[in-house]
Chains A and B, each alone.
Chain A
């Protein structure tokens, strides 16, 4: 059994389902004590029943960061996973309100959680993993707000790797992973974007996160886990 993270405390935002839940499972499986923040108490409790003794904090990281950190006593690992694509429009059809909402969910929440986590991470000489996206490295044909927010998160990762050192900061960029009710056509289109010819599994992303947490020389790195959909930096 892997016990390499025994004695470490991790916080995963958006950890009750999809990729986040797989990350929680991987960290917990490696022996870490895991605090999980997610919006919906019911899915959070369901995740805990599946995974084990995780610490569940039902909060919305867009507004309740202070409340979340009442439950954080120490921290070695922060995974900024909360995020998502809310709009699928073109640039012309994406309103400023939509842009703001996307940045709030995908970038500002990570900024706020990171600010709150920083004193803990400095004390523990810890690490941060930001979950970005392959479309943050190379945009696809819709959702300019989401592509730009994830690109900003990637650039922020590289920035923070210098300023927060020796705290390590890395990004993991998943390609298409089916975690919600996608239609068959959307899945086909997403799979065609990859060299693997298939969409990814949450566990495949989680194993990259686990590697980024464990490898002490990895910092400022942008780790693509996307079936080869994006091959540029």
Chain B
């Protein structure tokens, strides 16, 4: 049997790179997408014999998905991990939310996710088995957040999109969402060191999450034909929503 193929968008570092590694370890062939960090993506893909594929999800999602299918012959799982991760978005100053910032965040996090879903669904509907789409949202989409309003708007959009697509694409394609809390990625590095400890101790589990744990959740969601339309919160017990 041909191994299954997963496309991980924004796979050059952080959660995306870990998701890619976890799927590779489970026997998937993995396409590691990047926008600008080619060397990083190639280094990730090289560790497990995957392929690095260039593409900006907000602009060329269709070409990206088509490229993966051309290179690897099929597409079984899409993990929409790419996000703008723009430090300027973390502000409690409403006037700092310029149209430019709005467009930048929503283009990648919301429209990019949608376009990747649509492009992948076209391929998955033609395939034989079930397809899986796994989106990434975040606690602020569920609870609100004083800082990062545009981010919470984009991620709340992903929540709605996930549920609607689960309905639209049933029963052959399962669509779910991971709502991530504090994972050890770049945003934790952005925190002042003094704040890091107090943040971590406020999490019931007592630490930040590991990117590999995000990968494990993604792999579980990719394994079930009866989990769809769901939002799985992975946050060490922080939000309890």
Q: Determine chain A's interface SS by DSSP, over half rule.
A: loop
The reply to whether the CB of A126 lies closer than 8 angstroms to some CB of chain B is no
The reply to whether the CB of A180 lies closer than 8 angstroms to some CB of chain B is no
Pick from B163, B217, B231: contact of A218, CB below 8 A. Answer: B217
Among A162, A208, A217, max chain B CB count under 10 A is at: A217
Among A169, A218, A227, max chain B CB count under 10 A is at: A218
Beta-carbon contacts under 8 Å, A163-211 to B? 165-166, 168-169, 175, 195-198, 200-201, 204, 207-208, 211
State the CA gap A166–B203 with chains docked (Å).
9
- Measured between beta carbons, the chain A residues less than 8 angstroms from B213 are 215-218
In the complex with contacts A166-B206, A195-B167, A220-B204, A215-B234 CB distance below 8 A? yes
Beta-carbon contacts under 8 Å, A59-99 to B? none
Beta-carbon contacts under 8 Å, B204-219 to A? 204-206, 209-210, 213, 216-217
The reply to whether the CB of B223 lies closer than 8 angstroms to some CB of chain A is yes
How many B residues touch A, CB cutoff 8 Å?
Answer: 36
A204 engages B205 (CB within 8 Å): no
- Measured between beta carbons, the chain A residues less than 8 angstroms from B205 are 165-166, 168, 216-217, 219
- Measured between beta carbons, the chain A residues less than 8 angstroms from B237 are 161-162, 165, 168-169, 219-220
- Measured between beta carbons, the chain A residues less than 8 angstroms from B233 are 220-222
Q: Give the shortest distance, in Å, between A209 (CB) and chain B (any CB).
A: 11
The reply to whether the CB of A214 lies closer than 8 angstroms to some CB of chain B is yes
Chain A, interface size category, equals 35 or more
B228 engages A227 (CB within 8 Å): yes
The reply to whether the CB of B190 lies closer than 8 angstroms to some CB of chain A is no
Instruction: Mark contacts of B178-205 with chain A using CB atoms, 8 A cut-off: 1 yes-contact digit, 0 otherwise.
Output: 0001000000000000000000000011
The reply to whether the CB of B76 lies closer than 8 angstroms to some CB of chain A is no
Q: Give the shortest distance, in Å, between A124 (CB) and chain B (any CB).
A: 15
- Measured between beta carbons, the chain B residues less than 8 angstroms from A159 are 240
Given contacts A218-B232, A223-B230, 7 further A-B contacts (CB under 8 A): A166-B205, A195-B167, A201-B226, A208-B224, A215-B216, A218-B234, A221-B233
Measured CB to CB, the residues of A under 8 A from B are 158-159, 161-162, 165-166, 168-169, 175, 195-198, 200-201, 204, 207-208, 211, 214-228, 230-231, 233
A–B Cβ pairs within 8 angstroms, 17 of them: A158-B241, A161-B204, A195-B171, A196-B171, A196-B225, A207-B223, A208-B224, A211-B216, A219-B236, A220-B235, A220-B240, A222-B233, A225-B227, A226-B226, A227-B228, A228-B167, A228-B228
Measured CB to CB, the residues of B under 8 A from A are 142, 163, 166-167, 170-171, 174, 181, 204-206, 209-210, 213, 216-217, 220, 223-241
